Structure 1
Amino acid sequence: MVENYLRLTGFYHVSRIGLIRGFYPLLAALVEKWRPETHLFVLPVGEDTVTLEDVTHIFSLPIDGEPVSEWTDSSSDFVQSQSIAIFCHQPALSSSSKSYIRLGWVRTIRDAEPLDTEESIKRYVRCQIFCLLGSTLFTDKSTAYAHTKYLPFLRDFERIHTYSWGSACLAHLYRALCHASRYDTKEMDGPLNLLFVWAWERLPCIALVPRQSLPPAEIPVAMR
């Protein structure tokens, strides 16, 4: 039942992709080749970049629909009301910023859901999507918190799939690469899973597993 609801929201495939950690030499090499002026990688074989088609192919996220852009209120009352409406609990916020919710707390709420009613299943799926937003698609450098600005998008369960999450994810990757390419930046956040899988697809000579040994092609590619 949970899988059916994740399919309905468009996050089913992303939820099955684990976090990819490490590979810092590859990340450093890609950042060095990034050109913020054109949003392109300048590689020995020519110019290339991650596109909306790649996001669909790798993550199977929707790239059509409403923009993931909305006015948000960072006040305590707003955050608490949104959290209660979505999670049915008072939020556990970051000690340094009241605009960030601790993902560990959200996972605890998610895992405690009995999944015996439709509303319980929807709360579980909302928690799962919020964790994916904070840990996979729109990560910060800590990967421990997610911004409260995403809460309003999860209120109406029937509209979650209507947003262009893929476009927002790609924009976040471009922004992260541009920021990481500055001389005074030492770390990079953003959807690194998307970047790594894209590099392994475009440059198979550096892929972890030989392409001929992979299962038949499927959508999304990251599941291979």
Structure 2
Amino acid sequence: MDVSYVYGSRDTSLLYGQSEHVSRSITSANVDDIVRGRRCDCWIWGLYGDDGDDDPHPRVMQYLVDTRFYGVYRCGRLVVDLHLIAALVERWRPETHTFHFQAGEATVTLEDVALLWGLPVDGLPVTGQDISWSKEQWQDYCQTWLGYTPSDRAFKGRRLYATDLAIYLQHCKITDDSTEQRVQQHVRCLLLLLLGGIMCPDTSSSAISLLYLRHFEDLEAVRTFSWGSAVLGYLYRELCTGALLRKVVEQDGTVELDKRKTNLGGALTLLQIWAWSRIPLLAPAIVPVVEDDPRRLAYPHPPYGAR
């Protein structure tokens, strides 16, 4: 039997990247590659509990609702099934940005992001500009918008370690008597942890880019950005790089294909919830969301992903 008909495409006019796709590992009997999902959201749940048992102060929660990040927070901490993620990556085709299953093609859409996480998919694009600042400039910037000056060891280039943010939040408790400026600074720290730890984490699994903070300077304008598009685009990029074998240039100038990319960033928790909703046999039992905390009754119902 021709194995290319089993593990590859019959017509290469569209799926032209089979020679560099990770599915080639199956024909080589190399099926034990490990995919490591990278994120740094454990610090959030260390502050507020795995299921939000100890929610932030109501003033902070109201900002989460207003900025439309409330749904991501309410989905809580999720243990990612890395075997499921690896299987999905092996079926992802960068040429079409879809998963290729025996039953047909499927992909994560903007509608999925809006329904599962409650993120806005309409609005301004989330773009930025690469900034080359000194460490002292970044420290002054953090003091202005986050309310504290990180130490020199808290930086990793232009990124800030999530542990440093979490430690600051532990000592920066919000009360009814806190000033509005202090509340907003606390909210920006939490938004950074949500965006850089769950929604768009990189492969470092420990640091968050301070370039994101530009979009949180004006908290009233946060909801005007299309965060769902940014999350989906970031996830697509990670899936595309993870689905291709890495190229290595040898000393003689020849190009060889190395093993797959093992560290994946992006919204893997969203991808897993999407897989559960589309492939019911993989999903755990859906339980009704019972709001037994009277404080939460004042907030919107959590999105579908919280089920």
Using the size of structure 1 for normalisation, the TM-score is 0.91
Which residue in the other structure is 1:223 paired with? 306
Aligned-pair distance for 1:158?
1.5
- Which segments of structure 1 move beyond 6 Å, counting only runs of 4 or more? 93-96
Which residue in the other structure is 1:4 paired with? 62
**How many angstroms apart in 1 are the aligned matches of 2:173 and 2:138?**
25
Which residue in the other structure is 1:46 paired with? 104
Count of residue pairs brought into register by the alignment: 220
Aligned-pair distance for 1:91?
2.9
SS of equivalent residue, structure 2 residue 99: strand
Which residue in the other structure is 2:203 paired with? 141
- From 177, 187, 198, the counterpart of 1:125: 187
Aligned-pair distance for 1:81?
3.2
**How many angstroms apart in 1 are the aligned matches of 2:264 and 2:238?**
6
Which blocks of at least 5 consecutive residues in structure 1 are unaligned? none
Whether the 8 Å contact between 2:163 and 2:206 is mirrored in structure 1 is: yes
Superposition CA RMSD, Å: 1.9
Aligned-pair distance for 1:6?
1.0
Q: Structure 2 vs 1, CA of residues 182 and 54 (structure 1 numbering), >3 Å: closer, same or farther?
A: same
- From 230, 234, 247, the counterpart of 1:168: 230
1:113 is the counterpart of 2:172 = yes
> In terms of mean alpha carbon deviation, does 56-65 or 69-78 score higher?
69-78
**How many angstroms apart in 2 are the aligned matches of 1:92 and 1:201?**
43
SS of equivalent residue, structure 2 residue 105: strand
Amino acid corresponding to residue 112 of structure 1 in structure 2: H
**How many angstroms apart in 2 are the aligned matches of 1:193 and 1:200?**
11
Whether the 8 Å contact between 2:80 and 2:272 is mirrored in structure 1 is: no
Correspondence list, 1:22-61, <5 A: 22-61=80-119
**How many angstroms apart in 2 are the aligned matches of 1:73 and 1:80?**
14
**How many angstroms apart in 2 are the aligned matches of 1:219 and 1:84?**
33
Which blocks of at least 5 consecutive residues in structure 2 are unaligned? 1-58, 246-259, 290-300
CA offsets, 1:147-191, max 9 Å, x none?
Answer: 111011111121111111110000000000001112231221110
Which residue in the other structure is 1:18 paired with? 76
CA offsets, 1:96-152, max 9 Å, x none?
Answer: 841110111111222222322222221111111000111101112232110111011
**How many angstroms apart in 2 are the aligned matches of 1:170 and 1:113?**
32
Whether the 8 Å contact between 1:93 and 1:99 is mirrored in structure 2 is: no
SS of equivalent residue, structure 1 residue 172: helix
CA offsets, 1:189-212, max 9 Å, x none?
Answer: 110011000000000111022x4x
Correspondence list, 1:85-104, <5 A: 85-92=144-151, 97-104=156-163
Aligned-pair distance for 1:93?
6.2
> In terms of mean alpha carbon deviation, does 170-179 or 146-155 score higher?
146-155
**How many angstroms apart in 2 are the aligned matches of 1:186 and 1:22?**
15
Query: Which structure has more helix as a fraction of its residues?
Result: 1
> In terms of mean alpha carbon deviation, does 31-40 or 109-118 score higher?
109-118
Q: Structure 2 vs 1, CA of residues 41 and 177 (structure 1 numbering), >3 Å: closer, same or farther?
A: same
Q: Alignment identity in percent?
A: 36
**How many angstroms apart in 2 are the aligned matches of 1:207 and 1:93?**
44
**How many angstroms apart in 1 are the aligned matches of 2:104 and 2:153?**
43
- From 284, 297, 301, the counterpart of 1:208: 284
Aligned-pair distance for 1:19?
3.1
Aligned-pair distance for 1:65?
1.0
**How many angstroms apart in 1 are the aligned matches of 2:209 and 2:120?**
21
Which residue in the other structure is 2:218 paired with? 156
Q: Structure 2 vs 1, CA of residues 105 and 207 (structure 1 numbering), >3 Å: closer, same or farther?
A: same
Whether the 8 Å contact between 2:91 and 2:100 is mirrored in structure 1 is: yes
Correspondence list, 1:166-205, <5 A: 166-183=228-245, 184-205=260-281
Aligned-pair distance for 1:25?
1.2
